Amino acid sequence: MNRWISLTSFLIAGFLLLTSLAYALPRTDSPHSGRDNNPPVILVGVAGLRWSDLNTSLENNPKLKEIWNSTLLGKGSLGNNVVRSVRTSACPVDGWLTLSSGARAGDLTPEASGECRPMTPPEGDELLIPQWPRYVSAARMQGFSSKPGAFGNALKTGGIKSLAIGPGASIALSDQLGVVVGDYISLPSNDIELRQEIEKALRAYDLTVIDAGSTPRPKAEPMKDQDASDALEKRTQAHQLAIDSLVSRIAVVLQQVPEEATLIVASVADTTRRPDLQFMAIRCADCQQGLSYSGSVRQSGLVQNADISVTVTTALGLKHPSGFFGSPITSQASSASQQDRLDALVNQEKRAQENRKAVPAFFIFLTVVNVGFFLFVCVVYLWGRKRQVPTNLSSFPWFIPISVLIASLPWAGQVVAYLPWWLSPAPIPTLLIAIILLAGISGMGTLKVSASIEKKTGIQLPELVPGLVSGLLFFTIVIDALRSGTAQLDAPMGVSSLVGGRFYGLNNTAFALLATSGIIFTACVLLLLRRTNLERKRLLQTLLIVLIGGLSVIVDGFPSFGADFGGPPALIPGFIAMGLVANELRVTWLRVLSIGVLTVGGVSALAFADWLRPSLERTHLGRFVDTVFQGEVWAVLMRKAQQNLHNLTHSYLTIVALAGLLVAFLVLRPAFKQVRGSVFSPTLEACVWALLITHLLGYALNDSGILITACGIMFAIPLGLAFASKARTGAGYKTLIE
């Protein structure tokens, strides 16, 4: 094995060894099994209660506001709850099933009318849930490795005395056979009876779970034009009355719960056909006034339904059940006033909703811009070839600036997250204008810096512009990932809190841009290095590839940063192939096999090291290993494969990918053939091979494959055109695009 592969293997193996040792070190133990006289736990669950709804209700009723402030809001940890389960909008039964499973779960598809299937109370003396077989069947079909009844089984094993009040609570407290663990009563019809039942429950039970009801889910019925305004007003009034009734009912419970008890009040489901962030607050002995925080979410003021189940078992002193995907909810102390914290949560809710609306508009904008540009390039190129005249793409004075501007749009889509565009009266136009301005500033700045350097050196450096643009994007993503990916949450090119698939780290879009920009940046630096008179260039360029490639793998795959399971298997072969081609080494079957073994072994070691940590501290890398050990990996892989196929056939980004590949094959491929034997060879060839390998593997290993391909193309092709428009052949008489 040559020195290059030996050095690379040594560095990666050393990194993986240190990572494994770090994760294998003893950590804080998981909660032990047994009650140990912990204070009682009360969980009040509702559906359809947002912070904005609660604020309006309390402002209209000062007496209720005083009760809420003195018992919960002024003493607890506050947050938004992500209730996303198996569908865009979570029905009440989906929320309660998620609590029961400690993972995403839900009923079968709602009825044809769009109405959620109703929950019914348990039957018979044994308190059996009538629909339980349907819930279990749905969990098997949905492919989220959820096991309805896992929460109830943990309570039974731990000897917890529990009481379920209301049908939703009975679902949460059922075991895997659908039998309610503990006792059950219906939700009392008036406040006096409810107060009496709470008093008795606090004396007799370790855990009391209350289904306090929900706001009405509006029916999708058409309204006549003349009646639309009146119907909307009546619907709004009915909705507010339902919220007021719900808030009043919860206040009855709040007044009865003692200070030493752990109290959780959360909205566990949507009651509209759009996803929403829902209300959540917790008060406990260790809770501080501030915003809630969960290790599974890693974002201030944001938790998810699965965290509630873990929080309850932790408060009861139970061992963390296997298969639970949440983490205990803790507090982030804050010196902000209560009103400021409430405003921050409402603002978080607004940002999530505005981002949900803006993401389609933003990607449609990117699609139109890129497809239009790509088609223009192809038409002009073919017209020139047909008439046997120069294509003149490189002679257009605006061609390179436009190419750089389009290539800068992904960077602008990243940094626009730091601007409060969602607070504008017209959020989507404001977002698009801000992105165009940021891309223009970045692109023009890059061109001016490049021109200044070329003027001082007296050498034409076509790799400078792609290098500066790609370097800016690469290090922007790296720095954000090292800061826990705060700019990725509810950003146009980031992750959505309403989807709930990922709250931190690098999503597929960020991975695609990190990989593409990292490879192009490395290639551009290598080209600059080849122009120098430094000795041992081969060693220097090898070290550079290992450095940028290793940084990319760490940032993307390390659980504390990117926590991306599908990224490293694509990055490692891509950068190793880049090193082989750049150093003009033959690609043999032995080397290909070595790369495969190194990739699989490295990624497996990283995931296994994460699995070695206590279950409460694992990311989804370690949870995937746990899924493998439980024999459920096939269901997860099938779900991801189906999602990948659906995205390929139902996404307009497929058009971007096809148009970009047309430009690459028709224009860039013959252009880059001219670099053989020039200063650009073999670095340019190494860059192309690295991009191809990384994106092919990235497409195959992730559930949104076409998104990865399209995002990479939207960045790489414009930069390739800018490079080819400025680069000249060895004779120096014409540009590569001719």
Convert the pLDDT of each residue in 56-106 to its tens digit: 999 989 999 999 999 999 888 999 999 998 888 899 999 999 999 999 999
Most confident of 46-50, 111-115, 582-586: 46-50
Q: How confident is the model at residue 18 (pLDDT cuts 50, 70, 90)?
A: very low
Share of the chain above pLDDT 70, in %: 81
* Least confident range of 5-14, 401-410, 633-642: 5-14
Looking at residue 34, what is its pLDDT?
A: 42
Looking at residue 242, what is its pLDDT?
A: 87
What are φ and ψ of residue 737, in 5° steps? -90, 110
> In which region does residue 77 sit, left (phi positive, over 0), alpha (psi from -120 to 50) or beta (all else)?
beta
Q: Taking a C-beta distance cutoff of 8 angstroms, is the pair 147, 97 a contact?
A: no
Is it the case that residue 483 has pLDDT exceeding 70?
yes
| pLDDT (average), residues 685-706 | 85
Q: Taking a C-beta distance cutoff of 8 angstroms, is the pair 414, 480 a contact?
A: yes
* 732 class by beta-carbon count within 10 Å (0-12 exposed, 13-18 middle, 19+ buried): exposed
Is it the case that residue 329 has pLDDT exceeding 80?
yes
Looking at residue 728, what is its pLDDT?
A: 63
Q: Is the dihedral of CA 683, 688, 689, 691 positive or negative?
A: positive
Q: How confident is the model at residue 1 (pLDDT cuts 50, 70, 90)?
A: very low
- As a dihedral over the C-alpha atoms of residue 562, residue 652, residue 465, residue 574, rounded to 10 degrees, the angle is 50
What are φ and ψ of residue 148, in 5° steps? -55, 135
In angstroms, the CA 721 to CA 525 distance is: 18
Is it the case that residue 208 has pLDDT exceeding 80?
yes
Looking at residue 537, what is its pLDDT?
A: 77
Q: Taking a C-beta distance cutoff of 8 angstroms, is the pair 156, 175 a contact?
A: yes
In angstroms, the CA 243 to CA 728 distance is: 69
Residues 6 or more apart whose CB falls under 8 angstroms from that of 423 comprise: 347, 350
In angstroms, the CA 735 to CA 723 distance is: 10
Q: How many C-beta atoms lie closer than 10 Å to residue 270's C-beta? A: 30
Q: How confident is the model at residue 374 (pLDDT cuts 50, 70, 90)?
A: very high
Q: How confident is the model at residue 564 (pLDDT cuts 50, 70, 90)?
A: confident
Looking at residue 720, what is its pLDDT?
A: 92
Q: How many C-beta atoms lie closer than 10 Å to residue 485's C-beta? A: 25
Is it the case that residue 26 has pLDDT exceeding 70?
no
CA 278 to chain CA centroid, Å, is: 18
In angstroms, the CA 244 to CA 19 distance is: 52
Question: Which tokens belong to 56?
Answer: 């309006």
Most confident of 466-480, 482-496, 592-606, 696-710: 466-480
Higher pLDDT, 734 or 450: 450
Interval 234-249: pLDDT, tens = 667 777 888 999 999 9
Pairs from 675-684 (Cβ < 8 Å, separation ≥ 24): 675/727, 675/729, 675/736, 677/730, 678/729, 678/730, 679/527, 679/530, 679/531, 679/730, 680/527, 680/727, 682/581, 682/582, 682/584, 683/523, 683/526, 683/527, 683/530, 683/582, 684/523, 684/527
* Least confident range of 95-104, 248-257, 281-290: 281-290
| pLDDT (average), residues 111-116 | 68
Q: How confident is the model at residue 16 (pLDDT cuts 50, 70, 90)?
A: very low
Q: Taking a C-beta distance cutoff of 8 angstroms, is the pair 526, 582 a contact?
A: yes
Q: How confident is the model at residue 24 (pLDDT cuts 50, 70, 90)?
A: very low
**Mean pLDDT estimate for the chain:** 83
In angstroms, the CA 146 to CA 143 distance is: 8
Q: How confident is the model at residue 140 (pLDDT cuts 50, 70, 90)?
A: confident
Higher pLDDT, 452 or 588: 452
Interval 169-181: pLDDT, tens = 999 999 999 999 9
Interval 384-399: pLDDT, tens = 666 655 555 666 778 8
**Residue 82 forms beta bridges with which residues?**
277, 304
Instruction: Give ∠ CA 458-462-468 in degrees, rounded to 5.
Output: 105
Is it the case that residue 620 has pLDDT exceeding 80?
no
DSSP string, 533-576: --S-HHHHHHHHHHHHHHHHHHHHH-TTTT--SSSHHHHHHHHH
Is it the case that residue 637 has pLDDT exceeding 60?
no
In angstroms, the CA 653 to CA 661 distance is: 12
In angstroms, the CA 96 to CA 102 distance is: 10
* Least confident range of 50-54, 380-384, 412-416, 458-462: 380-384
Looking at residue 14, what is its pLDDT?
A: 47
Task: Determine what percent of the chain falls in helix, strand and coil, rounding each to the nearest 5.
Answer: 60, 10, 30
